[in-house]
A and B are shown apart, each in its own frame.
Chain A
Amino acid sequence: MERVDIQAFTLDKLTVHDMVAYVTSDQAFLISLLHGTTLCITRPCLEDLLHHRVHNETAFILVQRGLASYEGSRAPIPQCGRINPTFFLIDLTKACNLQCRYCFREPEATAPHMTAEQIDRICDELIAYCQRHGLSCLSIQAWGGEPLIELSLIERIRHCFDETNIALQLTIETNATLITPSVARRLKNSRVEIGVSIDGCAAVHDAQRPFVGGSPSFARVREGIENLRQAGYTDFGSITVVTRNTLDHLPEVIRCFAQELHLPSIKLNLMRKTDRNRQLALDLQEIPSYVDNLLGELRACYEQGISIVEQNIAQRLANLLFRPCGNICNAHGCHGGYRMLSIGVDDGVYPCELSDIPSYCLGKIGQGDFTEMVQKAIDAQMEYFQPRRLDDCGRCPWLFYCHGGCRSAMQYDCGDPCRIDATECAFNQALYPRLVEILMLDPAFAQYLQKGGC
């Protein structure tokens, strides 16, 4: 597959914008550098475009897809820049019963946690915020530490919102070791959506997610998953941190998820570097082969008729196909502060759950409206909100979707949230061209990668 750069040009009142085309023998996949929109065209149509010959019909669809514009026509609506947080993380506790080797958080001897009264106050603030801004739905993720250590507080959040007409999506990411049959039923009763953190087969999981004290946790996670199923959960997802250990065992990890645990939805996130255990994270040059291997394992599942969706791949395919901007973390870069906020044990409001350091505190619960807190921090040029330095991105076709990647990861990695997230960049550079190729040459596999099913 050849990459062809198409520079912007103007024909009378039509301006064709900067694009990159990925070209096969009979098709070309166009990607707008400005708007992240795409269009697949035939090879003769591409040849016309390269020679600045644009049929009326081609001009019309280019304009409709935001790849061109007529003088005076509107540009596609930008996807960032509006301060409208609707996803809130509530940091219930800093306590955790696991001691993951890559955790961003330092273990604390006396881990603070929220109180019931504090949850009531936070929920009152969130409900008032929804009413002021006319929001009929809101997402809250109970966060930790291990959120199930404070299960009663999760139930309390649901109870607070049940007395309103606000539709609350309540989620947790849990290590699942505390999910007994009774806990699973309580979660189901409180309509809590669940993501289970699990790092693969026992060999990998136990090496990096032991209990505090060092004993293995995989068997308990497996039990927790079974208890969720018994309580009626069928569609929970899983979250995995990919390290060097994963790389060595990727086929077993995917087989475990697909065939032993029957997980319908998995999300494999590359470990980000922190001061602890840097050697566990993949080097940038290892990422392309990881992407190849992951796609290979998913193809094997596809060919064996096993339904499984890897969400990082599915979301990037969706970016290419219809630019949904649904994902907080990988659709048009970081949405910290703009679409998400995190509320800490100290009542502090932060741009995201990983940015809960004092200098990024936007204010305290009860000190004002959330959007005003964010706006004030932007006006005050808080480091977290300063523009990303994207000079090195040049004509990268994936810039629209990535926009520099995760600010918090860079804060942890090098203390500078405005630098380009090199891990995200390497992952996108390796994955997106493969996805374009699959979309053009093997649409049935592309559909499987996006939606599962066989």
Chain B
Amino acid sequence: MRVFSPDDAGSLRLSPYTRINVQPDGLTILQTLFEQVAMLRCPPAFSTQLLDLLSRGATEEEVLALLIDFMHDETPARELIDTWLQIGVLE
């Protein structure tokens, strides 16, 4: 369980209010409080790697680096983080 402090706000984590579905062709995350859905087309191995990182908590740079490595482009990687923060998948 995360113990929040404004000092560790730089760390990104998966919200506990999510339901995760890893499928062969991608990752689907339902944010249960606001019923928002996040999807990412990726192989299961990448889904697992991303979820592991977000469950432990990681800096934005670490998450971004992983996404850029997969997407080969910084812009969609940054957009994905921003969107997931806005809809409460990441906190």
Contacts and interface: CB of A to CB of B under 8 A. Distances in A.
Interface string B1-38: 11111100100000111100000000000001111000
A439 B17 contact: no
Interface residues of B, number: 17
A42 B3 CA distance: 6
Interface in A272-329: 321-324
Contacts of A366: none
Given A37-B33, A76-B34, A77-B33, A45 B16 contact: no
Given A64-B91, A76-B33, A77-B34, A439 B1 contact: yes
A439 B1 CA distance: 8
Which of under 10, 10 to 19, 20 to 34, or 35 or more describes the interface residues of A? 20 to 34
Nearest to A63: B88
A439 B91 CA distance: 20
A323 B32 contact: yes
Interface stretch (A54-62, A124-132, A151-159, A393-401): A54-62
B34 A61 contact: no
Interface string A87-123: 0000000000000000000000000000000000000
A40 B2 contact: yes
Contacts of B4: 39-42, 45, 58, 61
A421 B11 CA distance: 42
Most buried by A among B1, B32, B91: B1
Interface string A12-45: 0000000000000001000000010101111011
Contacts of B6: 45, 55, 57-58
B50 to A, nearest CB: 19
Given A35-B33, A55-B9, A65-B17, 13 more contacts: A37-B17, A37-B33, A40-B1, A41-B5, A42-B4, A45-B4, A58-B6, A60-B9, A61-B9, A61-B91, A65-B33, A65-B91, A322-B16
Interface of A: 27, 35, 37, 39-42, 44-45, 55, 57-58, 60-61, 64-66, 74, 76-77, 321-324, 439, 443, 446
